[in-house]
Structure 1
Amino acid sequence: MQDNNPEKIESKSMKIIEKELNQLKGSEREKQVIKRVIHATADLNLVDKVKLSPDGINQLRSLIESGADIITDVNMLKAGINTNKLKEYGGQLKCYIADQQIREEAKKTGLTRSIMSMRKAVKEPGKKVFAIGNAPTALFELIRLNQEENIQIDFIVGTPVGFVGAAESKDKLIASDIPHISLQGRKGGSAVAASIINSILYM
């Protein structure tokens, strides 16, 4: 008989992942994040593609616990993050991609809405975690703002997906000094970024 209990299904899935990845290396927190990425994608081949900056998980956890806001590149990613859990720490979940001001500025400049929304977000006060699951242009722009305009970027969860710019943007993030969690290669997406954020929220 098919089990329709979501908690039991998730628990069973995680046990299967743990069995398949019995030689998984890293700290317990790192393993937890990696397993969540595998769970979100059903792709065991991604185990070695999850890349973390030194002490990245603890840095991200500390930012969230201190009330940092989470800025997403698209509303799909925003919808996948546990807002109530984030609010317990005092943080807010924000996405500017559909704002009228962003639409107008993108049309005026000829740049993508993703770029314009990142430019707006970095100007806001307070600590921020950027979650980029869809748009490589958003990730490229955050790195540019940091490297060319010396704007501090507290943390990036960068997992954009696709054939144009996704792998390159993540390689650039991984090679940068910006604290991050990323997924090397073309694969990724909003579900992956959300799974990483949620795994940290529940640690």
Structure 2
Amino acid sequence: MQTRKGQSIEDESMEIIEREIGPHPYKGHEWKIVRRIIHSTADFDFAGKNGLVFHKDAVNAGLDALKSGKNIIVDVNGIIGLLNKQNLQDFKNQVICDISNPDVVKEATKLNKTRAQTAMRIRASEMNGAVVVIGNAPTALLEVIQMVKENATRPSLIIGVPVGFVCASESKDELQALDIPFITNKGRKGGSPCASAIINALFKIVRGD
């Protein structure tokens, strides 16, 4: 194997995806986002039976929020590690994650809630107009959904792709019932690579790449 530069590898990977994908329902910006997830996960299922589902206003809402420097609120630190830091610096987006906040740990114990739920609830005000990104904890997504229903907060976009066997699929179904811009997927698959890929893809679209 020859040593290859990153961009060369990425370009060839995208060409392979285009050759192997077969028929799919996505076009334009939506396809760019789905393709970025496939690139990050090597899983064509994100364009198939576990494919992404887009609210009709999701892409435009996400682009407007990110290029305006709105907060990005995430459920786990793993998502932060996979985000392109140059984008965050250039557009001045603050990334917020409270999953390891000692106050959240104490409050979660007191309320008998998960840390992921509590971490979302304490950021209600910062969540207004923000992009909420959930890749791991279905309880975090369910909490945000409940907050929206209570009119406690109104994000610009909810990216809900939690992974798992308990409530992951169900939480995504509930998200699709909300009248708010969202990007989610069907089934149990998801995770930090999937969630961060959506944000990185949106930034690429903002930049015109």
TM-score clears 0.5: yes
CA distance in 2, matches of 1:153, 1:93: 14
Greater CA drift, 145-154 or 174-183: 145-154
CA distance in 1, matches of 2:138, 2:127: 24
Q: For residues 60-113 of structure 1, what are the alpha-carbon distances to aligned partners after superposition, in whole Å with 9 as ceiling and x for unaligned?
A: 001111111101000001111123312312211110111111111011111111
Following TM superposition, by how much is the alpha carbon of 1:38 offset from its aligned partner in structure 2, in angstroms?
1.2
Q: Counterpart of 2:134?
A: 132
CA distance in 2, matches of 1:51, 1:79: 25
Aligned residues: 203
Give the letter for the 2:105 counterpart.
R
Which residues in structure 2 correspond to 1:43-192 (within 5 Å)? 43-48=43-48, 49-124=51-126, 127-192=129-194
Unpaired segments of 5 or more residues in structure 1?
none
Q: For residues 33-54 of structure 1, what are the alpha-carbon distances to aligned partners after superposition, in whole Å with 9 as ceiling and x for unaligned?
A: 0101111221112204111000
Q: For residues 117-165 of structure 1, what are the alpha-carbon distances to aligned partners after superposition, in whole Å with 9 as ceiling and x for unaligned?
A: 1011112375211000000000000001111345323211111000001
Unpaired segments of 5 or more residues in structure 2?
none
CA distance in 2, matches of 1:78, 1:165: 23
Q: What SS is found at the alignment partner of 2:72?
A: strand
Q: Counterpart of 1:7?
A: 7
Give the structure-1-normalised TM-score.
0.94
Q: Detail structure 1 runs of 4+ shifted over 4 Å in the superposition.
A: none
CA distance in 2, matches of 1:3, 1:175: 47
Distance 1:30 1:125, change over 3 A: closer
Is the Cα contact below 8 Å between 1:86 and 1:201 reproduced in 2? no
Greater CA drift, 87-96 or 127-136: 87-96
CA distance in 1, matches of 2:88, 2:162: 22
Is the Cα contact below 8 Å between 1:73 and 1:132 reproduced in 2? yes
Q: Counterpart of 1:26?
A: 26
Give the letter for the 1:136 counterpart.
P
Distance 1:131 1:122, change over 3 A: same
Is the Cα contact below 8 Å between 1:134 and 1:189 reproduced in 2? yes
Give the letter for the 2:15 counterpart.
K
Distance 1:5 1:114, change over 3 A: same
Is the Cα contact below 8 Å between 1:68 and 1:126 reproduced in 2? no
Give the structure-2-normalised TM-score.
0.91
2:35 aligned with 1:35: yes
Following TM superposition, by how much is the alpha carbon of 1:13 offset from its aligned partner in structure 2, in angstroms?
1.1
CA distance in 1, matches of 2:204, 2:44: 22
